Amino acid sequence: MIGPTPPIHPGEILTEEFLKPMGLTASALARTCKASRTRIERFALGQTPVTGDLALRLGRVFRTGPEFWMNLQALHDLTEVAAIVHDLDGIEPLVPA
């Protein structure tokens, strides 16, 4: 079960773990990964999710693989939804016959 911790957007990971330590700006990253500056800025600010295309680009640039970025997005989405879904306790798992 996903805990009560506020979800961390993958854009925050990009900013805190990659851009700042490497001294990169969104513009420099955009040029490197051949994406628009606006797209990178909006993602880094947590305004847009990572897409498959962006995950492929970031995975190549940072040598993390696209799965890293997609998994961060999936965890963010699940954590965010788990905080607002309140009827899961009433759902019983199916048991094979």
Pick 87 or 10 by higher pLDDT: 10
pLDDT band at 69 (very low <50, low <70, confident <90, very high): very high
88 pLDDT tier (thresholds 50, 70, 90)? confident
Name the token pair of 45: 């600010």
Alpha helix (H) ranges present in the chain? 10-13, 20-22, 26-33, 37-44, 52-62, 66-82
- 3 has pLDDT over 70: no
Q: Residue 62 is encoded by which pair of tokens?
A: 């940072």
| Class of the CATH-defined domain 7-66 | mainly alpha
Task: Give the domain ranges of the chain.
Answer: 7-66
| Token representation of residue 86 | 């309140």
Percent of the chain exceeding pLDDT 70 equals 95
